[in-house]
Amino acid sequence: HKGPYFAPLYEPLPDDVKFYYDGKPMKLNVATEEIATFYAKMLDHEYTTKEIFQNNFFHDWRKEMTSEERKKIKHLEKCDFKEMHKYFVDKNEARKALPKEEKQKLKEEADKIQEEYGYCILDGHREKIGNFKTEPPGLFRGRGDHPKMGMLKKRIMPEDVIINCSKDSKTPEPPSGHKWKEVRCDNTVTWLASWTENIQNSIKYIMLNPSSKLKVGVLFLVRPSVCHLIDPFYATVHVRVFKNLQLFMENKDPGDDLFDRLNTTVLNKHLQDLMDGLTAKVFRTYNASITLQEQLKALTNAEDNVAAKLLSYNRANRAVAILCNHQRATPKSFEKSMQNLQAKIDAKKEQLAEAQMELKRAKADLKAKKDVKSKAAVEKKKKLLEKIQEQLLKLNVQATDKEENKQIALGTSKLNYLDPRISVAWCKKFGVPIEKIYNKTQREKFAWAIDMADEDFEF
DNA sequence: AGTAAGACTTGGAAGAATCTTC
DNA sequence: GAAGATTCTTCCAAGTCTTACT
Protein backbone atom coordinates (compact mmCIF):
# COMPACT_ATOMS: atom_id res chain seq x y z
CA HIS A 1 0.00 0.00 0.00
CA LYS A 2 0.96 3.63 -0.35
CA GLY A 3 0.37 4.74 3.22
CA PRO A 4 -2.42 7.08 4.22
CA TYR A 5 -3.61 9.97 2.13
CA PHE A 6 -3.05 13.09 4.20
CA ALA A 7 -5.66 15.75 4.77
CA PRO A 8 -5.06 18.76 2.49
CA LEU A 9 -3.01 21.59 3.97
CA TYR A 10 -4.74 24.68 5.24
CA GLU A 11 -5.46 27.38 2.69
CA PRO A 12 -5.41 30.84 4.26
CA LEU A 13 -8.54 32.94 3.90
CA PRO A 14 -8.72 35.65 1.24
CA ASP A 15 -7.80 39.07 2.62
CA ASP A 16 -11.34 40.41 2.42
CA VAL A 17 -12.67 37.75 4.81
CA LYS A 18 -12.02 39.16 8.22
CA PHE A 19 -12.05 38.12 11.80
CA TYR A 20 -13.18 40.77 14.29
CA TYR A 21 -12.20 41.09 17.88
CA ASP A 22 -14.20 43.44 20.02
CA GLY A 23 -15.69 44.90 16.86
CA LYS A 24 -12.36 45.63 15.17
CA PRO A 25 -10.86 43.64 12.29
CA MET A 26 -7.81 41.65 13.29
CA LYS A 27 -5.42 39.76 11.04
CA LEU A 28 -4.58 36.40 12.53
CA ASN A 29 -1.46 34.35 12.17
CA VAL A 30 -2.05 31.45 9.74
CA ALA A 31 -2.01 28.77 12.43
CA THR A 32 -4.36 30.77 14.64
CA GLU A 33 -6.62 31.50 11.70
CA GLU A 34 -6.85 27.83 10.79
CA ILE A 35 -8.17 26.91 14.23
CA ALA A 36 -10.56 29.84 14.12
CA THR A 37 -12.02 28.44 10.88
CA PHE A 38 -12.79 25.15 12.63
CA TYR A 39 -15.03 27.04 15.02
CA ALA A 40 -16.39 29.36 12.34
CA LYS A 41 -17.51 26.41 10.24
CA MET A 42 -19.54 25.05 13.14
CA LEU A 43 -21.26 28.30 14.02
CA ASP A 44 -24.74 27.08 13.22
CA HIS A 45 -24.21 23.80 15.02
CA GLU A 46 -25.62 23.24 18.47
CA TYR A 47 -22.15 22.38 19.75
CA THR A 48 -21.03 26.00 19.68
CA THR A 49 -23.81 26.94 22.11
CA LYS A 50 -22.48 24.58 24.76
CA GLU A 51 -20.29 26.02 27.45
CA ILE A 52 -17.91 23.07 27.68
CA PHE A 53 -17.39 23.15 23.95
CA GLN A 54 -16.72 26.89 23.98
CA ASN A 55 -14.33 26.69 26.91
CA ASN A 56 -12.35 23.77 25.54
CA PHE A 57 -12.07 25.38 22.14
CA PHE A 58 -11.01 28.73 23.53
CA HIS A 59 -8.46 27.18 25.82
CA ASP A 60 -6.85 25.12 23.05
CA TRP A 61 -7.04 27.97 20.57
CA ARG A 62 -5.22 30.34 22.90
CA LYS A 63 -2.51 27.77 23.38
CA GLU A 64 -1.72 27.92 19.66
CA MET A 65 -1.78 31.72 19.37
CA THR A 66 1.27 33.94 19.17
CA SER A 67 1.95 35.77 22.42
CA GLU A 68 0.68 39.05 20.92
CA GLU A 69 -2.55 37.41 19.86
CA ARG A 70 -2.92 35.83 23.25
CA LYS A 71 -2.46 39.18 24.92
CA LYS A 72 -5.28 40.63 22.90
CA ILE A 73 -7.79 37.82 22.56
CA LYS A 74 -9.08 37.13 26.04
CA HIS A 75 -12.80 36.52 25.66
CA LEU A 76 -14.61 34.26 23.23
CA GLU A 77 -17.72 36.47 23.37
CA LYS A 78 -15.74 39.26 21.77
CA CYS A 79 -14.74 37.09 18.82
CA ASP A 80 -16.75 37.56 15.67
CA PHE A 81 -16.46 34.65 13.25
CA LYS A 82 -19.54 35.53 11.21
CA GLU A 83 -17.71 36.70 8.12
CA MET A 84 -15.61 33.57 8.11
CA HIS A 85 -18.70 31.46 8.57
CA LYS A 86 -20.43 33.13 5.66
CA TYR A 87 -17.37 32.59 3.49
CA PHE A 88 -17.57 28.84 4.04
CA VAL A 89 -21.32 28.66 3.53
CA ASP A 90 -20.97 30.54 0.24
CA LYS A 91 -18.08 28.40 -0.83
CA ASN A 92 -20.12 25.30 -0.20
CA GLU A 93 -23.01 26.58 -2.27
CA ALA A 94 -20.73 27.64 -5.06
CA ARG A 95 -19.39 24.11 -5.19
CA LYS A 96 -22.88 22.67 -5.37
CA ALA A 97 -23.81 25.03 -8.18
CA LEU A 98 -20.79 24.12 -10.30
CA PRO A 99 -21.52 23.12 -13.92
CA LYS A 100 -21.62 19.44 -14.73
CA GLU A 101 -18.22 19.26 -16.41
CA GLU A 102 -16.53 20.86 -13.43
CA LYS A 103 -18.16 18.43 -11.05
CA GLN A 104 -17.15 15.57 -13.30
CA LYS A 105 -13.58 16.81 -13.19
CA LEU A 106 -13.60 16.93 -9.39
CA LYS A 107 -14.98 13.44 -9.28
CA GLU A 108 -12.26 12.16 -11.56
CA GLU A 109 -9.64 13.67 -9.32
CA ALA A 110 -11.18 11.97 -6.30
CA ASP A 111 -11.29 8.68 -8.18
CA LYS A 112 -7.63 9.03 -9.02
CA ILE A 113 -6.77 9.42 -5.35
CA GLN A 114 -8.98 6.46 -4.50
CA GLU A 115 -7.25 4.42 -7.16
CA GLU A 116 -3.80 5.36 -5.91
CA TYR A 117 -4.27 5.21 -2.15
CA GLY A 118 -7.47 3.23 -1.70
CA TYR A 119 -6.15 -0.26 -2.38
CA CYS A 120 -3.53 -2.60 -1.06
CA ILE A 121 -2.22 -6.02 -1.98
CA LEU A 122 -3.04 -8.72 0.54
CA ASP A 123 -1.82 -12.25 -0.10
CA GLY A 124 -1.48 -11.41 -3.75
CA HIS A 125 -5.03 -10.03 -4.06
CA ARG A 126 -5.92 -6.40 -4.54
CA GLU A 127 -8.17 -5.37 -1.66
CA LYS A 128 -10.08 -2.18 -1.00
CA ILE A 129 -9.05 -0.13 2.01
CA GLY A 130 -11.85 1.16 4.23
CA ASN A 131 -10.46 4.48 5.41
CA PHE A 132 -7.32 5.45 3.55
CA LYS A 133 -7.35 9.11 4.59
CA THR A 134 -6.03 10.49 7.85
CA GLU A 135 -8.67 12.28 9.89
CA PRO A 136 -8.49 16.00 9.17
CA PRO A 137 -7.78 18.47 11.98
CA GLY A 138 -10.81 20.03 13.62
CA LEU A 139 -12.68 20.35 16.87
CA PHE A 140 -13.49 17.18 18.75
CA ARG A 141 -17.18 16.28 18.58
CA GLY A 142 -17.72 14.10 21.60
CA ARG A 143 -21.22 12.74 22.08
CA GLY A 144 -23.54 13.48 24.94
CA ASP A 145 -21.96 15.70 27.60
CA HIS A 146 -18.43 14.79 26.70
CA PRO A 147 -15.97 16.74 28.87
CA LYS A 148 -13.53 17.07 26.00
CA MET A 149 -15.88 18.38 23.33
CA GLY A 150 -14.46 21.36 21.46
CA MET A 151 -10.84 20.46 22.07
CA LEU A 152 -8.46 20.84 19.15
CA LYS A 153 -7.91 17.69 17.17
CA LYS A 154 -4.47 18.13 15.72
CA ARG A 155 -3.33 17.61 12.18
CA ILE A 156 -1.77 14.21 11.58
CA MET A 157 1.70 14.36 10.08
CA PRO A 158 3.74 11.54 8.52
CA GLU A 159 5.96 11.78 11.61
CA ASP A 160 2.93 10.57 13.66
CA VAL A 161 2.21 7.57 11.47
CA ILE A 162 3.33 4.00 11.89
CA ILE A 163 3.33 2.03 8.66
CA ASN A 164 2.66 -1.68 8.70
CA CYS A 165 3.47 -3.67 5.58
CA SER A 166 4.95 -7.00 4.69
CA LYS A 167 8.72 -7.48 4.52
CA ASP A 168 8.80 -8.30 0.83
CA SER A 169 6.59 -5.39 -0.22
CA LYS A 170 7.81 -1.98 -1.23
CA THR A 171 7.71 0.32 1.78
CA PRO A 172 5.41 3.28 1.10
CA GLU A 173 7.21 6.57 0.56
CA PRO A 174 6.47 9.34 3.05
CA PRO A 175 5.46 12.68 1.48
CA SER A 176 8.60 14.52 0.37
CA GLY A 177 10.54 16.21 3.14
CA HIS A 178 8.93 13.96 5.75
CA LYS A 179 9.49 10.62 7.34
CA TRP A 180 7.34 8.01 9.01
CA LYS A 181 7.34 7.60 12.76
CA GLU A 182 8.08 3.93 12.24
CA VAL A 183 7.84 1.19 9.64
CA ARG A 184 7.09 -2.27 10.91
CA CYS A 185 6.15 -5.65 9.49
CA ASP A 186 3.63 -7.19 11.83
CA ASN A 187 1.53 -9.85 10.15
CA THR A 188 -0.39 -10.68 13.33
CA VAL A 189 -2.55 -7.57 12.97
CA THR A 190 -4.75 -6.35 10.10
CA TRP A 191 -4.04 -2.61 10.11
CA LEU A 192 -1.95 -0.93 7.44
CA ALA A 193 -1.12 2.29 9.26
CA SER A 194 -1.86 3.84 12.63
CA TRP A 195 -1.39 6.98 14.68
CA THR A 196 -2.25 8.16 18.17
CA GLU A 197 -4.86 10.89 18.37
CA ASN A 198 -4.31 13.70 20.82
CA ILE A 199 -7.74 13.92 22.49
CA GLN A 200 -8.11 10.54 24.19
CA ASN A 201 -4.66 9.27 23.41
CA SER A 202 -6.10 6.30 21.64
CA ILE A 203 -4.83 4.68 18.48
CA LYS A 204 -6.50 5.19 15.13
CA TYR A 205 -6.05 2.71 12.32
CA ILE A 206 -6.17 2.45 8.58
CA MET A 207 -7.90 -0.83 7.85
CA LEU A 208 -9.57 -2.77 5.07
CA ASN A 209 -13.02 -2.31 3.63
CA PRO A 210 -15.78 -4.63 4.97
CA SER A 211 -15.90 -6.39 1.59
CA SER A 212 -12.33 -7.61 1.96
CA LYS A 213 -11.40 -11.19 2.74
CA LEU A 214 -10.01 -10.27 6.10
CA LYS A 215 -13.26 -8.81 7.34
CA VAL A 216 -15.70 -11.22 5.79
CA GLY A 217 -16.88 -14.52 7.01
CA VAL A 218 -14.85 -15.02 10.12
CA LEU A 219 -17.97 -14.60 12.20
CA PHE A 220 -20.49 -16.35 9.98
CA LEU A 221 -18.37 -18.98 8.33
CA VAL A 222 -16.80 -20.29 11.50
CA ARG A 223 -19.93 -19.93 13.51
CA PRO A 224 -22.15 -22.87 12.57
CA SER A 225 -20.09 -25.16 14.75
CA VAL A 226 -20.67 -22.80 17.62
CA CYS A 227 -24.32 -22.32 16.82
CA HIS A 228 -25.46 -25.89 16.89
CA LEU A 229 -24.07 -26.05 20.38
CA ILE A 230 -26.01 -23.02 21.49
CA ASP A 231 -29.41 -24.71 21.33
CA PRO A 232 -28.74 -27.47 23.91
CA PHE A 233 -26.74 -24.92 25.81
CA TYR A 234 -29.79 -22.69 26.14
CA ALA A 235 -31.96 -25.60 27.17
CA THR A 236 -29.84 -26.47 30.18
CA VAL A 237 -28.72 -22.99 30.99
CA HIS A 238 -31.97 -21.43 32.02
CA VAL A 239 -32.45 -23.94 34.81
CA ARG A 240 -28.99 -23.19 36.08
CA VAL A 241 -29.44 -19.43 35.73
CA PHE A 242 -32.48 -19.59 37.95
CA LYS A 243 -30.66 -21.54 40.62
CA ASN A 244 -27.70 -19.22 40.46
CA LEU A 245 -29.89 -16.18 40.78
CA GLN A 246 -31.32 -17.61 43.97
CA LEU A 247 -27.82 -18.22 45.23
CA PHE A 248 -26.70 -14.70 44.37
CA MET A 249 -29.61 -13.20 46.21
CA GLU A 250 -29.22 -15.10 49.42
CA ASN A 251 -26.34 -13.07 50.72
CA LYS A 252 -27.47 -9.70 49.51
CA ASP A 253 -29.59 -6.83 50.66
CA PRO A 254 -32.34 -5.73 48.29
CA GLY A 255 -30.37 -2.67 47.12
CA ASP A 256 -27.14 -4.47 46.29
CA ASP A 257 -25.95 -4.98 42.76
CA LEU A 258 -26.91 -8.51 41.91
CA PHE A 259 -24.09 -9.03 39.47
CA ASP A 260 -21.21 -7.40 41.29
CA ARG A 261 -18.96 -10.30 40.47
CA LEU A 262 -20.14 -10.86 36.94
CA ASN A 263 -18.65 -8.53 34.37
CA THR A 264 -18.09 -9.16 30.68
CA THR A 265 -14.49 -10.20 31.28
CA VAL A 266 -15.50 -12.90 33.71
CA LEU A 267 -18.41 -13.99 31.53
CA ASN A 268 -16.30 -14.13 28.39
CA LYS A 269 -13.60 -16.00 30.22
CA HIS A 270 -16.14 -18.57 31.32
CA LEU A 271 -17.65 -18.89 27.85
CA GLN A 272 -14.20 -19.14 26.34
CA ASP A 273 -13.47 -22.09 28.62
CA LEU A 274 -16.63 -23.83 27.45
CA MET A 275 -15.73 -23.48 23.82
CA ASP A 276 -13.14 -21.77 21.69
CA GLY A 277 -14.57 -18.72 19.95
CA LEU A 278 -17.63 -18.47 22.17
CA THR A 279 -18.16 -14.93 23.41
CA ALA A 280 -21.16 -12.90 24.47
CA LYS A 281 -21.25 -11.37 21.02
CA VAL A 282 -21.73 -14.75 19.39
CA PHE A 283 -24.96 -15.14 21.34
CA ARG A 284 -26.23 -11.85 20.07
CA THR A 285 -25.47 -12.79 16.46
CA TYR A 286 -26.97 -16.21 16.90
CA ASN A 287 -30.17 -14.82 18.40
CA ALA A 288 -30.45 -12.22 15.69
CA SER A 289 -30.01 -14.66 12.83
CA ILE A 290 -32.24 -17.38 14.17
CA THR A 291 -34.95 -14.82 14.86
CA LEU A 292 -34.78 -13.47 11.33
CA GLN A 293 -35.09 -16.94 9.91
CA GLU A 294 -38.05 -17.82 12.09
CA GLN A 295 -39.82 -14.55 11.45
CA LEU A 296 -39.32 -14.79 7.70
CA LYS A 297 -40.79 -18.25 7.74
CA ALA A 298 -43.77 -17.11 9.78
CA LEU A 299 -44.51 -13.86 7.97
CA THR A 300 -43.87 -14.47 4.28
CA ASN A 301 -46.76 -15.38 2.06
CA ALA A 302 -45.74 -16.89 -1.25
CA GLU A 303 -48.84 -15.52 -3.00
CA ASP A 304 -48.07 -11.93 -2.11
CA ASN A 305 -46.62 -9.48 -4.59
CA VAL A 306 -43.09 -8.20 -4.19
CA ALA A 307 -44.11 -5.09 -2.23
CA ALA A 308 -46.01 -7.13 0.33
CA LYS A 309 -43.18 -9.62 0.61
CA LEU A 310 -40.80 -6.77 1.29
CA LEU A 311 -43.07 -5.58 4.06
CA SER A 312 -42.83 -9.04 5.58
CA TYR A 313 -39.07 -8.96 5.23
CA ASN A 314 -38.85 -5.60 6.92
CA ARG A 315 -41.11 -6.83 9.69
CA ALA A 316 -38.86 -9.80 10.31
CA ASN A 317 -35.89 -7.45 10.29
CA ARG A 318 -37.68 -5.22 12.79
CA ALA A 319 -38.27 -8.13 15.13
CA VAL A 320 -34.51 -8.59 15.16
CA ALA A 321 -33.80 -4.91 15.69
CA ILE A 322 -36.19 -4.87 18.63
CA LEU A 323 -34.46 -7.92 20.06
CA CYS A 324 -31.10 -6.16 19.77
CA ASN A 325 -32.58 -2.96 21.15
CA HIS A 326 -31.72 -0.89 18.11
CA GLN A 327 -34.03 1.97 18.81
CA ARG A 328 -33.79 5.44 17.39
CA ALA A 329 -35.47 8.76 17.92
CA THR A 330 -38.30 9.30 15.45
CA PRO A 331 -36.65 11.20 12.58
CA LYS A 332 -37.28 14.93 12.54
CA SER A 333 -38.85 14.80 9.11
CA PHE A 334 -41.09 11.85 9.93
CA GLU A 335 -44.41 13.65 10.35
CA LYS A 336 -43.96 15.65 7.23
CA SER A 337 -42.93 12.80 5.00
CA MET A 338 -45.79 10.72 6.38
CA GLN A 339 -48.21 13.47 5.42
CA ASN A 340 -46.70 13.60 1.95
CA LEU A 341 -47.16 9.89 1.58
CA GLN A 342 -50.77 10.11 2.78
CA ALA A 343 -51.41 12.85 0.24
CA LYS A 344 -50.04 10.58 -2.46
CA ILE A 345 -52.35 7.82 -1.32
CA ASP A 346 -55.35 10.13 -1.43
CA ALA A 347 -54.43 11.29 -4.90
CA LYS A 348 -54.06 7.70 -6.03
CA LYS A 349 -57.50 6.87 -4.65
CA GLU A 350 -59.01 9.64 -6.72
CA GLN A 351 -57.19 8.35 -9.77
CA LEU A 352 -58.62 4.97 -9.02
CA ALA A 353 -62.17 6.28 -8.84
CA GLU A 354 -61.59 8.14 -12.09
CA ALA A 355 -60.27 5.02 -13.80
CA GLN A 356 -63.28 3.02 -12.62
CA MET A 357 -65.61 5.60 -14.11
CA GLU A 358 -63.76 5.55 -17.40
CA LEU A 359 -63.90 1.80 -17.57
CA LYS A 360 -67.63 1.90 -16.97
CA ARG A 361 -68.08 4.41 -19.74
CA ALA A 362 -65.95 2.38 -22.12
CA LYS A 363 -67.99 -0.73 -21.34
CA ALA A 364 -71.22 1.12 -22.02
CA ASP A 365 -69.72 2.37 -25.24
CA LEU A 366 -68.79 -1.15 -26.27
CA LYS A 367 -72.28 -2.37 -25.52
CA ALA A 368 -73.73 0.28 -27.75
CA LYS A 369 -71.28 0.05 -30.65
CA LYS A 370 -69.90 -3.49 -30.44
CA ASP A 371 -66.97 -2.59 -32.69
CA VAL A 372 -63.30 -3.60 -32.51
CA LYS A 373 -62.15 -0.15 -31.59
CA SER A 374 -64.29 0.19 -28.49
CA LYS A 375 -63.39 -3.33 -27.43
CA ALA A 376 -59.74 -2.33 -27.50
CA ALA A 377 -60.64 0.76 -25.50
CA VAL A 378 -62.22 -1.38 -22.78
CA GLU A 379 -59.12 -3.54 -22.57
CA LYS A 380 -56.94 -0.47 -22.29
CA LYS A 381 -59.02 0.94 -19.47
CA LYS A 382 -58.97 -2.36 -17.66
CA LYS A 383 -55.20 -2.44 -17.82
CA LEU A 384 -55.00 1.09 -16.51
CA LEU A 385 -57.30 0.31 -13.63
CA GLU A 386 -55.22 -2.70 -12.64
CA LYS A 387 -52.07 -0.66 -12.75
CA ILE A 388 -53.54 1.99 -10.50
CA GLN A 389 -54.83 -0.60 -8.07
CA GLU A 390 -51.39 -2.07 -7.81
CA GLN A 391 -49.80 1.32 -7.26
CA LEU A 392 -52.27 2.11 -4.52
CA LEU A 393 -51.52 -1.17 -2.81
CA LYS A 394 -47.83 -0.44 -2.98
CA LEU A 395 -48.30 2.99 -1.45
CA ASN A 396 -50.34 1.57 1.39
CA VAL A 397 -47.68 -1.00 2.11
CA GLN A 398 -45.08 1.76 2.10
CA ALA A 399 -47.07 3.77 4.62
CA THR A 400 -47.46 0.80 6.95
CA ASP A 401 -43.77 0.05 6.70
CA LYS A 402 -42.80 3.62 7.42
CA GLU A 403 -45.07 3.90 10.42
CA GLU A 404 -43.85 0.65 11.95
CA ASN A 405 -40.27 1.66 11.36
CA LYS A 406 -40.26 5.13 12.83
CA GLN A 407 -38.54 4.28 16.08
CA ILE A 408 -36.44 1.37 14.90
CA ALA A 409 -33.03 1.42 13.22
CA LEU A 410 -32.57 -1.54 10.89
CA GLY A 411 -29.09 -0.76 9.61
CA THR A 412 -26.93 -2.18 12.32
CA SER A 413 -28.57 -5.56 12.62
CA LYS A 414 -28.73 -5.93 8.86
CA LEU A 415 -25.05 -5.10 8.48
CA ASN A 416 -23.52 -6.70 11.53
CA TYR A 417 -25.66 -9.36 13.14
CA LEU A 418 -27.60 -11.17 10.47
CA ASP A 419 -26.17 -13.97 8.43
CA PRO A 420 -26.72 -12.60 4.91
CA ARG A 421 -27.31 -16.08 3.54
CA ILE A 422 -30.68 -16.13 5.25
CA SER A 423 -31.74 -13.05 3.32
CA VAL A 424 -30.21 -14.25 0.08
CA ALA A 425 -32.00 -17.59 0.39
CA TRP A 426 -35.25 -15.80 1.11
CA CYS A 427 -34.88 -13.62 -1.98
CA LYS A 428 -34.21 -16.63 -4.17
CA LYS A 429 -37.05 -18.66 -2.74
CA PHE A 430 -39.66 -15.94 -3.14
CA GLY A 431 -38.39 -14.34 -6.33
CA VAL A 432 -37.49 -11.01 -4.78
CA PRO A 433 -34.59 -9.22 -6.50
CA ILE A 434 -31.63 -8.93 -4.15
CA GLU A 435 -31.32 -5.18 -4.89
CA LYS A 436 -34.61 -4.68 -3.05
CA ILE A 437 -33.06 -5.57 0.27
CA TYR A 438 -29.36 -4.79 -0.14
CA ASN A 439 -27.95 -1.62 -1.68
CA LYS A 440 -24.67 -1.51 -3.57
CA THR A 441 -22.37 -1.34 -0.53
CA GLN A 442 -24.26 -4.12 1.18
CA ARG A 443 -24.12 -6.29 -1.90
CA GLU A 444 -20.37 -5.78 -2.02
CA LYS A 445 -19.97 -6.71 1.60
CA PHE A 446 -22.19 -9.77 1.22
CA ALA A 447 -20.96 -10.83 -2.21
CA TRP A 448 -19.73 -14.12 -0.77
CA ALA A 449 -23.21 -14.93 0.55
CA ILE A 450 -24.97 -13.94 -2.66
CA ASP A 451 -22.73 -16.37 -4.49
CA MET A 452 -23.04 -19.31 -2.19
CA ALA A 453 -26.50 -19.43 -0.62
CA ASP A 454 -29.26 -21.28 -2.48
CA GLU A 455 -32.93 -21.07 -1.66
CA ASP A 456 -32.78 -23.99 0.74
CA PHE A 457 -30.12 -22.51 2.96
CA GLU A 458 -30.90 -22.95 6.63
CA PHE A 459 -29.04 -21.17 9.35
C1' DA B 1 -6.49 -11.01 39.37
C1' DG B 2 -6.70 -6.66 37.84
C1' DT B 3 -5.59 -3.13 34.64
C1' DA B 4 -4.00 -0.79 30.66
C1' DA B 5 -2.97 -0.72 25.90
C1' DG B 6 -4.00 -2.38 21.51
C1' DA B 7 -7.01 -4.23 17.98
C1' DC B 8 -11.14 -4.45 15.90
C1' DT B 9 -16.40 -3.67 15.63
C1' DT B 10 -20.46 -1.01 16.04
C1' DG B 11 -23.74 2.88 15.82
C1' DG B 12 -25.39 7.01 14.55
C1' DA B 13 -24.77 11.47 12.57
C1' DA B 14 -23.27 14.36 8.90
C1' DG B 15 -22.52 15.01 4.20
C1' DA B 16 -23.03 13.64 -0.65
C1' DA B 17 -25.64 11.78 -4.25
C1' DT B 18 -29.87 10.72 -6.22
C1' DC B 19 -34.68 10.87 -6.82
C1' DT B 20 -39.32 13.46 -6.77
C1' DT B 21 -42.17 16.88 -7.45
C1' DC B 22 -43.82 20.98 -8.84
C1' DG C 1 -34.69 22.78 -13.45
C1' DA C 2 -34.46 23.84 -8.83
C1' DA C 3 -36.02 22.88 -4.21
C1' DG C 4 -36.94 19.50 -1.13
C1' DA C 5 -37.07 14.76 0.33
C1' DT C 6 -34.93 10.40 0.44
C1' DT C 7 -31.29 7.18 0.19
C1' DC C 8 -26.52 6.09 0.16
C1' DT C 9 -21.84 6.74 1.80
C1' DT C 10 -18.47 8.35 4.70
C1' DC C 11 -16.82 9.52 8.94
C1' DC C 12 -15.36 8.90 13.47
C1' DA C 13 -16.54 8.37 18.44
C1' DA C 14 -17.33 4.84 21.38
C1' DG C 15 -18.08 0.14 22.37
C1' DT C 16 -16.27 -4.79 22.87
C1' DC C 17 -12.87 -8.13 23.10
C1' DT C 18 -7.92 -9.58 23.29
C1' DT C 19 -3.34 -9.34 24.81
C1' DA C 20 0.34 -7.79 27.57
C1' DC C 21 1.84 -6.61 31.79
C1' DT C 22 2.39 -6.28 36.74
A318 contacts: CB under 8 Å, gap ≥ 6: A404, A405, A408, A410
Helix, strand, or coil (residue A20): strand
A366 to A44, A326, A352, A353, A371: CA distances (angstroms): 66, 58, 21, 20, 7
- What's the CA gap between A337 and A319, in Å, rounded? 24
Whether nucleic acid strand C comes within 7 Å of the CB of A144, the answer is yes
Could you tell me if A194 and A161 are in contact, meaning their C-beta atoms sit under 8 angstroms apart? yes
Other Cβ atoms within 10 Å of A363 Cβ, number: 15
Which residue is closest, via its CA, to the C1' of C9? A441
Which residue is closest, via its CA, to the C1' of B2? A265
- What's the CA gap between A277 and A273, in Å, rounded? 9
User: What does the buried/exposed string (b/e) look like for A114-131 if buried means 16 or more CB atoms within 10 Å of the residue's CB?
Assistant: eeebbbbebeeeebebbb
Nucleotide nearest A92, from its CA to each C1': B15
Nucleotide nearest A411, from its CA to each C1': B11
Going by C-alpha positions, the residue among A399, A430, A420 that lies closest to residue A317 is A420
DSSP A60-110: HHHHHS-HHHHHH---GGGEE-HHHHHHHHHHHHHHHT--HHHHHHHHHHH
Q: Which nucleotides of C are covered by protein (CB under 7 A)?
A: 5-18
Residues A117, A313, A417, A438: which is the catalytic one? A417
Consecutive 10-residue averages of pLDDT for chain A (459 residues): 94 95 96 96 92 96 96 96 92 83 84 92 90 96 92 96 92 94 92 94 93 64 54 54 51 47 60 67 83 92 89 90 78 79 85 88 90 88 85 86 83 85 92 88 87 84
Label residue A386 exposed, middle or buried (CB < 10 Å: 0-12, 13-18, 19+): exposed
- What's the CA gap between A405 and A316, in Å, rounded? 12
**pLDDT attached to residue A459:** 79
Whether nucleic acid strand B comes within 7 Å of the CB of A218, the answer is yes
A329 dihedral zone (left: phi>0; alpha: psi -120 to 50; beta) = beta
**pLDDT attached to residue A200:** 93
A44 contacts: CB under 8 Å, gap ≥ 6: A85
Whether nucleic acid strand C comes within 7 Å of the CB of A439, the answer is yes
> Is residue A119 flagged as an active site residue?
no
- What's the CA gap between A346 and A73, in Å, rounded? 60
The type of residue at A331 is P
Going by C-alpha positions, the residue among A33, A57, A35, A37 that lies closest to residue A47 is A57
* Max intra-chain CA distance, chain A: 97
- Report CA(A213)–C1'(C12) in Å, whole number: 23
Going by C-alpha positions, the residue among A3, A36, A376 that lies closest to residue A184 is A3
Which residue is closest, via its CA, to the C1' of B16? A96
- Report CA(A339)–C1'(B10) in Å, whole number: 33
- What's the CA gap between A306 and A430, in Å, rounded? 9
> Where do the domains of chain A lie, and which CATH numbers do they carry?
19-105 (1.10.10.41), 118-217 (2.170.11.10), 288-452 (1.10.132.10)
Q: Which nucleotides of B are covered by protein (CB under 7 A)?
A: 3, 6-14, 16-17, 21
A31 to A35, A60, A104, A161, A210: CA distances (angstroms): 7, 12, 33, 22, 37
The type of residue at A398 is Q
Helix, strand, or coil (residue A125): strand
| Positive/negative CA dihedral, A105, A111, A116, A118 | positive
Whether nucleic acid strand B comes within 7 Å of the CB of A107, the answer is yes
Polymer length in residues for chain A? 459
φ, ψ dihedrals at A93, nearest 5°: -70, -40
Could you tell me if A109 and A8 are in contact, meaning their C-beta atoms sit under 8 angstroms apart? no
Which residue is closest, via its CA, to the C1' of C7? A439
Whether nucleic acid strand C comes within 7 Å of the CB of A402, the answer is no
- What's the CA gap between A110 and A291, in Å, rounded? 42
**pLDDT attached to residue A254:** 44
Name A133's bridge partners: A5
**pLDDT attached to residue A219:** 52
